[in-house]
Homo-oligomer: A and B are copies of this chain.
Amino acid sequence: MTEKQSLKEIIAFISYIDQLKNVIRKNGLHDASREENTAEHSWHAALSALLLAPYADQAVDIDKVIKMLLIHDLVEIEAGDTFVYDREEVAKQGPSEAEAAGIILSKLPEQQGELLQNLWDEFEARVTPEAKFAKAIDRFLPLYSNIINHGYSWLPYDVTQTHVSEINSIIKDGSIGLWELVEVMLDDAVQEGYLNP
């Protein structure tokens, strides 16, 4: 492929991924005015990682964490968003997201396709310090928005503190400091009535 053809493929991909702005999550904005889309969530996650980098428990290449978070949810263009508190949805999530990654990344020139596939695989495997920290940020944000907007996506689904703790305890694998803060937030949420015990 010539350099010009590759450029055209990338430009077409940039238009394709615009669709992530239309993937709507259960999660609400902090002001509870509407549900969040996955593109703006990805921005929020990448920038939060940069700010919280000193709180990663293991040394991380923060630039790689940021790149993982920019691309981690691209699969939702084909697979849709999975609500973490729906056990049935979560159970069937694995294969369809992997298939989606294949479909999506085949649209790119080899160099860019490989770059994104490697970042996605590393993120999903949750083995490296970068993947663990990226996952911690990805899990922290929707939990935190429920703290601020008083259970926007918790109360309608009767989500309990036990379930939130279980789902989000992987935050611990990336940042103990963040997890300690989360535990206090969850206790407060129960006490104030926007999270079921």
Residues of A with Cβ closer than 8 Å to B? 3-4, 6-8, 10-11, 13-15, 17-22, 29-31, 33, 36-37, 39-40, 42-44, 46-48, 50-52, 54-55, 63, 66-67, 70-71, 108, 111-112, 115, 141, 144-145, 148, 177-178, 181
CB of B17 within 8 A of CB of A44, answer yes
CB of A112 within 8 A of CB of B66, answer no
CB of B40 within 8 A of CB of A31, answer no
The oligomer's copy count stands at 2
In the bound complex, CA of A97 to CA of B88 (Å): 47
In the bound complex, CA of A37 to CA of B44 (Å): 13
CB of B66 within 8 A of CB of A13, answer no
CB of B181 within 8 A of CB of A51, answer no
CB of A181 within 8 A of CB of B36, answer no
Shortest A5–chain B CB gap in Å is: 12
In the bound complex, CA of A43 to CA of B67 (Å): 11
CB of B15 within 8 A of CB of A22, answer no
| Residues of B close to A14: CB separation below 8 A | 44, 48, 51-52, 141, 144
Known: A7-B177, A22-B31. A67 touches B70 (CB 8 A): no
Query: What are 28 sample pairs from A and B whose C-beta atoms fall under 8 A apart?
Result: A7-B52, A7-B55, A7-B178, A7-B181, A8-B181, A11-B144, A14-B48, A14-B144, A17-B47, A18-B44, A19-B30, A20-B40, A21-B44, A22-B29, A39-B39, A39-B43, A39-B44, A42-B43, A42-B47, A43-B43, A43-B46, A46-B46, A46-B66, A46-B70, A50-B67, A50-B70, A51-B108, A66-B67
